[in-house]
A and B are shown apart, each in its own frame.
Chain A
Amino acid sequence: MKILELHHLKKYFATQKAVDDISFDIEQGSIFGLLGPNGAGKTTLLRMITGIFFPDEGEVILDGKKFNPLTDIIKIGYMPEERGLYKKMKIGDQALYLAQLKGLSKNEAVQRIKFWFEKLEMQSWWNKKVEDLSKGMSQKLQFVITVLHEPKLIILDEPFSGLDPVNANLIKDEIYGLAQRGSTIIFSTHRMEQVEEICNHIVLVNLGKKILDGSVQQIKNDFKENIFNIQLSAVPSSAESVAFKIIEQKAGKLIVKINEGFKSNDVLKYFIDQQINIEGFNEILPSLNDIFISLVENTKATTRSFQKVEA
């Protein structure tokens, strides 16, 4: 079942096309990665999904129905990249206030805050003020506030920035937990190693356009360059074959690129024929980071360009 469908979303500002005809679907319960360099239009896209902006064209379908910002806000939890809290307000009061703004009743909000504070060991924070918290601590609080009302769709913009590894793992586990309980998570970032680890499905946007859409595995396969790692008992001083080309040579290890028209078995056969013992053989898939960089560099625009566009 699809929780969110975007149909041909467009949002033009005076100086640039922030989002230019983007469509994709997100399955319920999946962890979805929205990737893109700075200024690619991610934040504008998320703001349209959360109802902060109205799209110039296109529509957002949430849970099978056209998205209505007034009634559907409770179904969404959004942690923006530019996030903060009232510095002088007590943490408990603050969480309560923001939960009530989402539409929870006071009693329900108090119960859920207590539940989450206990879970993440934040009980002692209730009467403290935000200005007393470290950046990581307030990040944790932000996360709790975002997921407090158990939204169907959770949107996290750079959720791990400023978190130490321990707290980052804590939050990561909670994200998995929420996904297992049926929430869908949209995860916007430009940190590829996190995406590779967490996301099932990714979309890459650049200059307001979608340039990549698929599961992490599938994308890696699409971009693989037939590079293999071979662990050998003894590395021959020279290995020549029409089947492959040696890229790198290390002690007991060869990294080879298989030539067009040949298969991995041709490589193995070569070494077997040479009476060399093969101890390991595996394919090296490109990292998302590499794919990202190659795609974005191709478009020659890693930052927002300011050419004039008729709105």
Chain B
Amino acid sequence: MNKIALIARREFLTRVQKRTFLITTILLPLLFFGFYALMIYFSVSNDEKYNIAVADQANIFKEKIEGDENVTFHFVKNETQQTLKQEIVNGKYDGYAFLPDTTNILNQVNISIVTKKSVGLMSRGKIEDKLNAALQQQRLLEFNISKAQLDSAKKEGNIQFSTIEGKNDTGQEAGISYAIGYVSGFLIYIVLFIYGAMVMRGVMEEKVSRIAEVIVSSVKPFQLMMGKIFGIGAVGLVQFIIWIILMVSLNFLLPVIFPNLAAQMHSANAQNQTMQAAETIKNTGLISNASGINIPLIIGCFIFYFLGGYLLYSSLFACVGSAVNEDPQDAQSLMLPITMPIIFGIVIMTKAVNEPTSGLAVFGSLFPLFSPIVMMARISHGIGNDAVPLWQLLLSMAFLILGFILTTWFAAKVYRTGILMYGKKPTWKEMWKWAFRRA
């Protein structure tokens, strides 16, 4: 045991002390956030300014259209389209909106807008919105309906979903469960790949540098393998914790650093149809709804399935690493049987997150090769007969532990033979034989 700890310590320290570790751990989230912030900034900021002349010959708008910092409307009278065009060329206006005097407000209203140059998408939307809002206002007046009456007519019914057990099952909660399940399942998927490959490369390095036999004369191959797996697992855990801390603090810091950004995002949200869904969740209270979700359960499960899945797969990755030689292409083809179930897991997960109680989801969350990914998608809906019954969770955990013991046993046997083998790359069939051979 002591030797496993020694090996794990070295594996951990050599990786953490590397410059690349610092770079990927700290710079990556910063870059990610910087990129994200820039993207939002550019999509929101709008430098285009339009001063639009409105030739409202039917007097539909009653000279009332609200503008903003980007778009201003200017009512003109006694101008023909010819003269307006001339004024655009002279630079007095950027464009004009023309309503012929035959326009009836209750019928189809045709407004033709002529501009000097083609209008950007954002500005186009803004101009349309402003004109339509003004149009609506005028029509309401025509019908003798007040704004308050309209608002109360538009008010939505309060529709509540609940399950037969009396549990509140609001759409927002389902949405948040969906998001949490999806994100955590996806995170585990990424973890399996990143750190599994790291274990594999570590084993290959030992083989290529010919140090394996030197070490194996001091420790059992099993100890070497487990030390490596634990050490790299610890690296992964530390990296994840740093990332989480960075993400959370950046989330708080961003609005402080760019106060304008938040305001701009807000105004963008108000206008952008696609963002309205997010806005609703925000306004109706993310916090109050999140309290319906069992956060300690999800975090606990995440850590369990993170570690369980990592241990299960990393030993298999170690066994591939031990089998191949210098050529990374050999590793690629041997890795296929390992990467397949991971990818299959993510496919089941996308189904399970929608229907957490379907047969496929239940199977996926029990079968140890898929359960780390799939169970995360189900468990975010909570424990209970309507989501994950307790027995299923416990069974899944037991299966995962059992699966981990099995793969480790298998991998240790292959690893022991493979690490001392040089020459041609073995097939899975040969590796299977190694596992059942006495050494």
By a beta-carbon cutoff of 8 Å, the part of chain A in contact with chain B is 14, 47, 50-54, 56, 69-70, 73, 76, 78-80, 82-89, 97-98, 100-103, 142, 145
- B346 within 8 A of partner (CB): no
Does the CB pair B10–A97 fall under 8 Å? yes
> A126 to B170, alpha carbons, bound, how many Å?
65
> A175 to B438, alpha carbons, bound, how many Å?
35
A5 to chain B, nearest CB (A): 20
Closest 3 CB pairs of A and B: A84-B210, A78-B217, A80-B213
Does the CB pair B209–A101 fall under 8 Å? no
Using A100-B6, A101-B6 as known contacts, say yes or no to A83 and B213 having CB atoms under 8 A apart.
yes
Chain B CB within 10 A, most for which of A83, A84, A142: A84
B3 nearest in chain A by CB position: A101
> A79 to B433, alpha carbons, bound, how many Å?
29
Chain B CB within 10 A, most for which of A14, A76, A86, A89: A86
Q: Which A residues touch B3, using CB under 8 A?
A: 101
B437 to chain A, nearest CB (A): 8
> A261 to B214, alpha carbons, bound, how many Å?
54
Contact with A along B395-416 (1 / 0, CB 8 A): 0000000000000000000000
Does the CB pair A101–B219 fall under 8 Å? yes
Query: For window 198-220 of chain B, which residues contact chain A by CB distance below 8 Å?
Result: 205, 209-211, 213-220
> A56 to B10, alpha carbons, bound, how many Å?
34
Does the CB pair A85–B211 fall under 8 Å? yes
Does the CB pair B217–A76 fall under 8 Å? yes
B439 to chain A, nearest CB (A): 6
Which residue from A53, A76, A78, A86 sits with its C-beta under 8 Å from B211? Answer: A86
> A171 to B210, alpha carbons, bound, how many Å?
21
Q: Which A residues touch B439, using CB under 8 A?
A: 53-54
> A20 to B62, alpha carbons, bound, how many Å?
108
Q: Which B residues touch A53, using CB under 8 A?
A: 439
> A70 to B219, alpha carbons, bound, how many Å?
8
- B14 within 8 A of partner (CB): yes
A87 nearest in chain B by CB position: B209
29 A-B pairs (CB sep. < 8 Å): A50-B217, A52-B420, A53-B439, A56-B438, A69-B220, A70-B220, A73-B218, A73-B219, A76-B217, A78-B214, A78-B217, A79-B214, A80-B213, A82-B422, A83-B211, A83-B214, A84-B210, A84-B211, A86-B205, A86-B209, A86-B211, A100-B6, A101-B6, A101-B7, A101-B218, A101-B219, A102-B218, A103-B218, A142-B214
Q: Which B residues touch A80, using CB under 8 A?
A: 213-214, 217
Interface of A, secondary structure class, is: loop
Does the CB pair A73–B217 fall under 8 Å? yes
B204 to chain A, nearest CB (A): 13
Does the CB pair A83–B438 fall under 8 Å? no
A85 nearest in chain B by CB position: B211
Does the CB pair B209–A85 fall under 8 Å? yes
Does the CB pair A101–B14 fall under 8 Å? no
Does the CB pair A145–B211 fall under 8 Å? no
Does the CB pair A88–B14 fall under 8 Å? yes
Which residue from A50, A76, A78, A83 sits with its C-beta under 8 Å from B210? Answer: A83
Q: Which B residues touch A73, using CB under 8 A?
A: 217-219
B228 to chain A, nearest CB (A): 12
> A93 to B378, alpha carbons, bound, how many Å?
47
Q: Which A residues touch B218, using CB under 8 A?
A: 73, 98, 101-103
A305 to chain B, nearest CB (A): 16
Q: Which B residues touch A56, using CB under 8 A?
A: 438
B325 to chain A, nearest CB (A): 12
A72 to chain B, nearest CB (A): 12
Does the CB pair A82–B14 fall under 8 Å? no
Q: Which B residues touch A50, using CB under 8 A?
A: 217
Which residue from B10, B210, B211, B216 sits with its C-beta under 8 Å from A52? Answer: B216
Q: Which B residues touch A70, using CB under 8 A?
A: 220
Does the CB pair A84–B14 fall under 8 Å? no
Using A78-B217, A145-B214 as known contacts, say yes or no to A97 and B209 having CB atoms under 8 A apart.
no
Does the CB pair B438–A89 fall under 8 Å? no
Does the CB pair A84–B6 fall under 8 Å? no
Using A52-B420, A53-B439, A82-B422 as known contacts, say yes or no to A101 and B210 having CB atoms under 8 A apart.
no
Query: For window 72-93 of chain B, which residues contact chain A by CB distance below 8 Å?
Result: none
> A78 to B3, alpha carbons, bound, how many Å?
18
Q: Which B residues touch A52, using CB under 8 A?
A: 213, 216-217, 420
Q: Which A residues touch B216, using CB under 8 A?
A: 52
Using A54-B438, A82-B422 as known contacts, say yes or no to A98 and B214 having CB atoms under 8 A apart.
yes
> A47 to B14, alpha carbons, bound, how many Å?
29
Contact with A along B128-143 (1 / 0, CB 8 A): 0000000000000000
Q: Which B residues touch A79, using CB under 8 A?
A: 214
Contact with A along B205-240 (1 / 0, CB 8 A): 100011101111111100000000000000000000
Q: Which A residues touch B420, using CB under 8 A?
A: 47, 52
Contact with A along B176-213 (1 / 0, CB 8 A): 00000000000000000000000000000100011101
Chain A CB within 10 A, most for which of B6, B211, B215, B216: B211
A91 to chain B, nearest CB (A): 13
Q: Which B residues touch A98, using CB under 8 A?
A: 214-215, 218
> A129 to B3, alpha carbons, bound, how many Å?
23
> A103 to B219, alpha carbons, bound, how many Å?
10
B342 to chain A, nearest CB (A): 29
A303 to chain B, nearest CB (A): 14
A200 to chain B, nearest CB (A): 24
Q: Which A residues touch B422, using CB under 8 A?
A: 82
A104 to chain B, nearest CB (A): 10
> A83 to B214, alpha carbons, bound, how many Å?
6
Q: Which B residues touch A85, using CB under 8 A?
A: 209, 211, 214
> A82 to B219, alpha carbons, bound, how many Å?
17
Using A54-B438, A101-B3 as known contacts, say yes or no to A84 and B217 having CB atoms under 8 A apart.
no
A161 to chain B, nearest CB (A): 13
Q: Which A residues touch B438, using CB under 8 A?
A: 54, 56
Contact with A along B423-439 (1 / 0, CB 8 A): 00000000001000011
Q: Which A residues touch B217, using CB under 8 A?
A: 50-52, 73, 76, 78, 80
> A145 to B215, alpha carbons, bound, how many Å?
11
Q: Which B residues touch A101, using CB under 8 A?
A: 3, 6-7, 215, 218-219
Q: Which B residues touch A97, using CB under 8 A?
A: 6, 10
A119 to chain B, nearest CB (A): 21
> A76 to B218, alpha carbons, bound, how many Å?
9
Using A52-B216, A98-B215 as known contacts, say yes or no to A82 and B10 having CB atoms under 8 A apart.
no
> A51 to B223, alpha carbons, bound, how many Å?
14
